[in-house]
Structure formats: structure tokens, C-alpha cells
Amino acid sequence: MFEIVNKQILAEDVKRVDIYAPHIAKNALPGQFVSICPEEGDERVPLTVIETAEGRGTISLIFQEKGETTGKLGSLPIHESVFSILGPLGQPAKIEKVGLVVCIATGVGTAQMLPIARAYRKAGNKVIGIIGAKTKKELMLEAQMRIVSHKIFITTNDGSYERRGVVTDILKEIIAKEKVGLVYAIGAIEMMQEAVSITKQKNIAAKVQLNPVMVDCMGMCGACRVKIAGDLILACTDGPEFDGHQVDFEDFKVRMNAFKESGQCRSHTLPRSKARKGSTILTKFLSAFRGK
Ligand SMILES: Cc1cc2nc3c(=O)[nH]c(=O)nc-3n(C[C@H](O)[C@H](O)[C@H](O)COP(=O)(O)OP(=O)(O)OC[C@H]3O[C@@H](n4cnc5c(N)ncnc54)[C@H](O)[C@@H]3O)c2cc1C
Ligand code: FES
């Protein structure tokens, strides 16, 4: 079970793995994720299910090697098995026919956007993709996004590829010209906040996926609380998709920064025995929010 049946290097630190997990392959819907533990005693990390192949019983994950756990997953060879995978987790994306959907993504959010864009297209919508990165080298999954989009726009901050600028520049232009039914944004918090702000001015529906730090991914630790329409909601059980107009992005930024300041990240700064890893992270995380 959980054998890595295929592995691809998509960019320097971005990998795709296809893993044999027939129960998840059968049940996962666009927008859902898994919690994966590469080897016994490792932390668990949430990763979006990018594709499923029910016939082969596999799920595909695309991930950036950000720290210890994603690095460990990326180092496992084909035919090795990962220790455990829980899923599918989270709420599936609510896919509707709305006409024109603009799917705007940066960084690893582009991987998470793939199943969403594909599902909107399958539901009969026209899909315009806008993907961006700081430089051409950091641009992810261009070919895959071209396939799922009717039209695609690409920006790089330094102008090393396609349009110089940021993805939201293009969003403004599209909204000025076309009747947009929905803007769906996944990626950097500032980008999602700006995209939502643009849609608010024009009264256009907006959805985002929030990726707060998650510990148990099962609604028990409270680590992933986000403020939606004034209420604290758990992103792991009620998200990760939310109505962009209801997200309190300022609160979200404070929470993400509080975690970084208290723990830096889950692996680099915490020398500890493997057996105690999970509880150490949770304690650090919760102490970051005491009183908030
Ligand atoms: C629902 C959900 C779906 C996700 N899907 C994907 C995906 O499909 N592909 C992918 O590459 N990543 C995805 N992520 C982000 C991924 O879970 C983190 O990159 C991973 O947990 C980092 O773990 P690590 O041990 O390798 O790094 P750590 O050593 O724990 O952290 C390394 C760096 O990553 C940052 N980080 C930690 N957790 C997160 C997080 N949740 N979001 C953003 N930054 C984080 C830390 O602050 C630190 O700067 C998703 C996150 C969530 C919540
Ligand atoms: S990660 Fe959501 S409650 Fe623990």
C-alpha cells in the first residue's frame, strides 16, 4: 500500500509522485487533500490531490520541497512506499456553471489550481488561466495549465518570460473587457487578497483556497483556524475553499506570521526526537496564538 509508482522532477525543487492509494483514488474530489507521512515518526503534511486514476488506484501529488517533510517525500525512490496517507480530507470544491472562470495562481498554488480549472472546464465553463512567478525559472506547470485553460496568460516579475508584472495586472485587464462569472485564486496571500479586492470593486464572485499551517488535519488541534465572515473556522475540515469576499486576510496574515515567528518552520529550527515531533509543533503553534 502507498507505493510510489511514478515520480517526476518538474522543476529544481518541485516533484510529482503517483502513489498507489486505491481508496483515496476512488473517493477524492477536486479541492480535497491528503495528509501524508513519508516515513514512520515523520511529521504529516497536507498536500492537494492533483489527479486521481481510479483504474490504476493512484493519486498524484505535486509539491515543492519546502522543508524536512516534503524534502523527505521528494527523496523517496520509485517503488518505495510512504508510511501513511490519510484522506481524502477537506471539503470538495463547489463546482458550478458560471460562464467565464478566471483561474489565477502563483507558485505552488498553480499545482493546486490544476484540478479546479479542470473541473470548471468539465462543467462547461470557459476557463482563462493566469499564472505567475518571480522569474521564468520559478514558473510552474505551464504546459499543464495550457491544457486545462481555453486561454492562458503568464507573468514574471522580472520580465524574463512573457509579460513583465504580476498576475493581478492581467486580471484587471480581463475584467475590464469580459463578463467574468467567477475569479478563483490560489497562491501567495497578498495575491489572493488583491484578486479578491479587484472582484469586490466589480461585484464579481471570488473563491480562494487557504493553506494555513495544519497539524492533525482532522479538526482536533485548532492550528488551522481562519477568520471567515467574522467567525473562526477550521480550514482542514470546512475548507480549504472559501468565499474570497468573506476571508479576513489581515487576520490570516497575522496567524501565518505568528507561526513563522514562534516556530520559524516545522523542521529547521526544532531539534527534537522524532517521536515527540508532532506534540512539539502543536505546543509551539498553540503558544503562538495564546490569547488570540
Ligand atoms: C490544504 C493544503 C494543501 C496543500 N497543498 C499543497 C500542494 O499541493 N503542494 C505543495 O507543494 N504544498 C501544498 N501545501 C503546503 C504544504 O503543506 C507545506 O509546504 C508543507 O507542509 C511544508 O512542510 P515541510 O515539513 O516540508 O516544511 P516545514 O519545514 O514545515 O516548513 C518549510 C517552510 O514552509 C512553510 N510552510 C509550512 N506549512 C505551510 C503551509 N501549510 N502553507 C504554506 N507554507 C507552509 C513554513 O512556514 C516554512 O517557511 C498545502 C497546504 C495545505 C494546508
Ligand atoms: S489542522 Fe485543522 S484543526 Fe488541526
Minimal-distance CA residue to ligand 1 atom 12: 63
Determine contact, residues 181/100, Cβ cutoff 8 Å: yes
**102 and 203 co-located in one domain:** yes
151 and 226, same domain (yes or no): no
3-state secondary structure of 237: helix
Count of domains in the chain?
Answer: 3
Q: Which atom number of ligand 2 is nearest to the Cα of residue 213?
A: 1
Sole residue written with cell 502543536: 282
Instruction: Pull the grid cell for residue 223.
Output: 492550528
Percent of the chain whose pLDDT exceeds 90:
82
From the list 72, 69, 91, the residue with the least C-alpha distance to 80 is 72
The predicted structure's pLDDT at residue 262: 57
Closest-CA residue, ligand 1 atom 5, reads 47
Peptide bond preceding 77 in cis form (omega within 30 of 0): no
Ligand 1 nearest atom to the CA of residue 256, by list position: 47
Answer yes or no: do 126 and 180 share one domain. yes
Domain boundary among 89, 108, 141: 89
How far from chain centre, in Å, is Cα 144?
16
Task: Out of 44, 221, 289, give the residue to mutate to test ligand 2, the one with the largest number of ligand atoms within 8 Å of its CB.
Answer: 221
C-alpha distance from residue 19 to each of 64, 184, 217, 235 (Å): 17, 28, 20, 25
Q: Is the pLDDT of residue 277 over 70?
A: no
Asked which of 60-69, 191-200, 257-266, 280-289 is least confident by mean pLDDT, the reply is 280-289
Contacts of 189 (CB under 8 A, 6+ apart): 249, 252, 253, 256
Per DSSP, helices labelled H in the chain are: 22-27, 68-75, 109-122, 142-148, 167-177, 189-201, 235-238, 249-263, 277-288
Q: Could you tell me if 62 and 141 are in contact, meaning their C-beta atoms sit under 8 angstroms apart?
A: yes
What does the pLDDT read at residue 103? 98
Sheet holding 58-64, edge to edge: 4-11, 14-20, 58-64, 51-53
The reported pLDDT for the residue numbered 11 is: 80
pLDDT beyond 90 at 275 = no
* DSSP-based three-state secondary structure for 12: coil
Are 98 and 204 found together in one domain? yes
97 and 203 part of one domain:
yes
* Mean pLDDT for all residues in the chain: 89
One domain for residues 216 and 277: yes
CATH assignment at residue 31: 2.40.30.10
| Overall average pLDDT of the 181-192 stretch | 97
Q: Specify whether 197 is located in the same domain as 230.
A: no
What is the model's pLDDT at position 159? 94
Question: 176 and 220 share a domain?
Answer: no
pLDDT band at 263 (very low <50, low <70, confident <90, very high): low
**C-alpha cell belonging to residue 265:** 518552520
Q: Are residues 23 and 52 in the same domain?
A: yes
Rounded CA gap, 107 and 36, in Å?
21
Closest CA to 184 of 95, 87, 88, 273: 95
- Tell me, yes or no, whether 98 and 149 share the same domain: yes
pTM of the model: 0.90
| Ligand index nearest the alpha carbon of residue 232 | 2
Cβ 113 under 6 angstroms from ligand 2: no
Of 42, 68, 89, which one is at a domain's C-terminal end?
Answer: 89
Which atom from ligand 1 is nearest to the alpha carbon of 111?
8
Residues 201 and 98 in one domain: yes
Looking at ligand 2, which residue's alpha carbon is closest to its atom 4?
A: 221
Task: Please report the pLDDT score of residue 273 as a whole number.
Answer: 37
In this prediction, residue 261 carries a pLDDT of: 60
Query: Rounded to 5 degrees, what angle do the CA atoms 50, 240, 3 make?
Result: 35
Task: For residue 51, give the ligand nearest its CA.
Answer: 1
Ligand number with the minimum distance to the CA of 241:
1
Specify the pLDDT at position 272: 36
Mean pLDDT of 117-138: 96
Domain identity same for 126 and 161 = yes
- Look at residue 286 and tell me whether its pLDDT is greater than 60: no
The domain in which residue 241 lies consists of 210-292
From 190, 209, 228, give the residue that closes a domain: 209
